[in-house]
Amino acid sequence: MIKITRRAALAAPLMLPALARAQPAWPDRPIRLIVPFGAGGAIDTLSRTVAQRFQEVAGQTLVVENRPGAGGTVAGAFVAQQRPDGNTIMMCDVGANAIGKELIPSLSYDPPTAFTPIIHLVNLPAAVIMYPQTQVRDLADMIAQGKARPDGFTYSSAGNGNGSHLFMALLLKQAGVQMVHVPYRSGAEMVTALVRGDAQFGFPTVSSALQMVRAGNAKAIAISTPAGTTALPGIPPVSDTIPGFDCNVWHGIAGPAGMDPALAQRINDVFGRIAAMPEVQEAIFRTQAGRVIGGTPADFANFIQREVVRWTPIIREGGIRAE
């Protein structure tokens, strides 16, 4: 048994600040930010926007490392195996960090338990868009015609289990409509297919559709969030037709499971400071029509759990599997 003298007991509180100072600061070396999709997409653009400001806030380099594949779960599996020391973190995605096991039952990790959620960075709105020559006035008319057409409409997506697939699946379920799903390999391909008329509808992010809509090559008929977006002024929200509908593509920062809460909070503080910069918020809106969220690690963990609860029945009822 170890005896603690009265003098030692009195001195112990005085030692705590010294011990805290002796712990290595984060970051004490360049940090790897693993991105679950390839260069040039929305999540990659967001990652590089954040990385540009990391040095001035944290005093180290943030190295963006793309690890695409299997709907983001290649990157997820890699990060889940790393040490929870903050030196390898991940830009989150709903597939890799929330519902991947539902989409890929053989997945080597369980997203809700494999990570330490750190901060919810942004939400990106999506838009229901259509081939301009489709004879549909608005979302309510799309739903009415969809119910009346025995052959149904078709809609494109950026791949099985992608947000563009899940958002439309949820909309159609709530509206009581069936459509034929035509998956593609990327957001760019799905929008291009719609512009060609290979599908009548799609539900991409606003940033993916914006150029085509402004050029008149596609028509936007509804926005995924109740507030709409000034990037596409005058386009009503889906919730005007389907009350309560509210969907965003979201991204944030997470590390491997088991991270010390104090370290998670330190990383949260750094990325929170970056996200609060007006120039960063302007860049996120300009390039992706996105909105910064922020909040605590607990806020982000609770949000991810709600996403798991939300999308699991849609995936199971639809028999959706990632490519």
Model pLDDT for residues 86-107, shown as the tens digit of each residue: 999 999 999 999 999 999 999 9
pLDDT at 41: 80
On the 0-12 / 13-18 / 19+ scale of CB atoms within 10 A, 194 is buried
Beta strands 31-35 and 88-91 are: parallel
pLDDT single digits (tens) 225-257: 999 999 999 999 999 999 999 999 999 999 999
- How many Å is the maximal CA-CA distance in the chain? 86
Place 25 in a pLDDT band, splitting at 50, 70 and 90.
confident
pLDDT over 50 at 46, yes or no:
yes
On the 0-12 / 13-18 / 19+ scale of CB atoms within 10 A, 8 is exposed
Q: How far apart are CA 170 and CA 192, in angstroms?
A: 23
Token pair of 84 as six digits: 């929870």
Place 42 in a pLDDT band, splitting at 50, 70 and 90.
confident
Mean pLDDT of the chain: 91
* Domains of the chain, CATH where assigned: 30-123+248-318 (3.40.190.150), 127-240 (3.40.190.10)
Comparing 192 with 30, which gets the higher pLDDT?
Answer: 30
CA 319 and chain centroid, separation: 22
> How much is the pTM?
0.89
Token pair of 206 as six digits: 């606003």
Mean pLDDT value of segment 139-155? 92
Q: Are 60 and 40 in contact (CB under 8 A)?
A: no
The percentage of the chain sitting over the pLDDT mark of 90, rounded to a whole number, equals 82
**Tokens 């939300």, located at residue:** 310
Mean pLDDT value of segment 304-314? 97
Mean pLDDT value of segment 293-320? 97
Least confident of 162-171, 174-183, 184-193: 184-193
pLDDT over 60 at 142, yes or no:
yes
pLDDT at 323: 67
Mean pLDDT value of segment 2-23? 42
Structure letter (DSSP) for residue 254: E
pLDDT at 3: 40
pLDDT over 60 at 126, yes or no:
yes
Q: How far apart are CA 290 and CA 243, in angstroms?
A: 22
Place 76 in a pLDDT band, splitting at 50, 70 and 90.
very high
Q: How far apart are CA 289 and CA 287, in angstroms?
A: 6
Q: Are 178 and 135 in contact (CB under 8 A)?
A: no
